[in-house]
A = this chain, B = another copy of it.
Amino acid sequence: MPRYAHVPGPTIRRLSLYLRQLESLRADGHATISSQQLGKALRVTDAQVRKDLAYFGQFGRPGLGYRVDELIEQARLILGTNRVWATALVGAGNLGRALAAYRGFAGRGFRIAAVFDTNLSFVGRPLPQSAGLVVRPMSELSSVIAGEQIRIGIVAVPAAEAQVTAERLLSAGVLGLLNFAPVALDTPPGVPVVSVDLAVHFEQLAFQVAELSS
């Protein structure tokens, strides 16, 4: 039952960037914005911006542009971040703690509702700068996910534990995964997984830099 079929993947990715840009523009006092202005900082053409937005509806006024407030609201609605998503974070290592401490999720529709770790020496510790989160044992995973109606799981464990962690999250009822471990997760078809592999991003940059000077 997709709300938006036949929308290109790249369009969805850019919609996130538009939203970020719009919030910055609003903070700078812009009430209205043209497709050209919106695309400029993101290096996206005006035609691309209009086409992207047109996949979801008609939000602009000819001669005027888009109302910033209205477009922010629409983008949030489309992305599904007009409500707050409760997430469960597994892994209280360096990355996990950095995620738990990250300000700025709150304003964008996400909340880390609970943190888990297999390492019992972490369990029970409060996480710094994280509004009172305390590391819980994996044994509580299912009940907390069910109790807090958590739909998104964050995998921030070492590579070797990522697959089993993903499986436990999914069988506890999570609908999608954000994976920070450097492995490809083997999940049932149709399960949304977004992966963020730091080494991969480094390599993309290394390639581009190497292209410059050779």
Contact = CB atoms under 8 A, between A and B. Distances in A.
B212 A81 contact: no
State the number of copies, please. 2
A175 B98 contact: no
A8 interface: no
A186 B94 contact: no
Nearest to A96: B98
A184 interface: yes
A186 B104 contact: no
Interface in A21-80: 21, 24, 41-42, 78-80
A199 B4 contact: no
B24 A183 contact: yes
A47 to B, nearest CB: 19
Interface stretch (A11-19, A113-121, A131-139): A11-19
Interface in A95-115: 95, 97-99, 101-102, 104-105, 108-110
A209 B176 contact: yes
Given A79-B207, A152-B209, 13 more contacts: A1-B212, A12-B207, A16-B199, A80-B209, A94-B129, A97-B98, A104-B199, A109-B202, A110-B199, A152-B205, A176-B209, A190-B212, A196-B196
24 contacts: A3-B211, A12-B207, A13-B200, A20-B200, A21-B184, A41-B186, A42-B184, A80-B203, A80-B207, A80-B209, A80-B210, A81-B202, A81-B203, A98-B98, A102-B198, A104-B182, A105-B199, A109-B202, A151-B209, A176-B205, A176-B208, A178-B202, A192-B209, A194-B208
